[in-house]
Amino acid sequence: SLQFITMYQNLLKLDPTGKLIRQLAFDKNINIRWNISTYQDLLGADPSGELIKRLANDESESVRGAIAGHKDLLKLDPSGEIARQLANDESGTVRGAIAGHKDLLKLDPSGEIIKKLSNDDDWFVRTNITSRKDLSKIQINANESIIREYIKYFL
């Protein structure tokens, strides 16, 4: 089935032009779009980065979440623009995927996304941030500023 093929086959090897990946990335079947977003070489299929930008705006939170957690997100989006967009997604699943991304500190050297997500309403997002060892220093600073604001409020 096409679902199986999009998960287990390197489509860029089958079609080095990337046209097949670009076409299937917008299939009506959400599982195919998710498989493309998760398992296929998006940058190889579209070096311009337009494909990743369009998938980051997919109607399905699972597809947006796949982009947010994509292992090559830093290569796909060196500016961090897509990461910032997905950190503001309406879905806690998508924000949680960004919060848990292995390259979050490189995607967000300023720490702004990290600080924002550490105060997210969704416990899953906050847990993904607070459980990270590499972000502990930024997290401490974020917590200090929250405590200072809280103290100012009561004084």
The predicted pLDDT at position 110 comes to 86
* Whole-number Å distance between alpha carbons of 130 and 124: 10
Contact (Cβ atoms closer than 8 angstroms) between residue 74 and residue 43: no
Higher pLDDT among residues 154 and 35, named by residue: 35
* Whole-number Å distance between alpha carbons of 135 and 17: 39
| pTM, rounded to two decimals | 0.82
Question: What is the 3-state secondary structure of 102-140?
Answer: CCHHHHCCCCHHHHHHHCCCCHHHHHHHHCCCCCHHHHH
Instruction: Convert the pLDDT of each residue in 8-63 to its tens digit.
Output: 889 999 999 999 999 999 999 999 999 999 999 999 999 988 999 999 999 999 99
Instruction: Convert the pLDDT of each residue in 84-136 to its tens digit.
Output: 999 999 999 999 999 999 888 888 888 889 889 999 999 999 998 888 766 65
* Whole-number Å distance between alpha carbons of 129 and 87: 12
pLDDT of 141 above 60: no
Contact (Cβ atoms closer than 8 angstroms) between residue 129 and residue 135: yes
> Model confidence at 147, in pLDDT bands (50, 70, 90)?
low
Instruction: Convert the pLDDT of each residue in 62-71 to its tens digit.
Output: 999 999 999 8
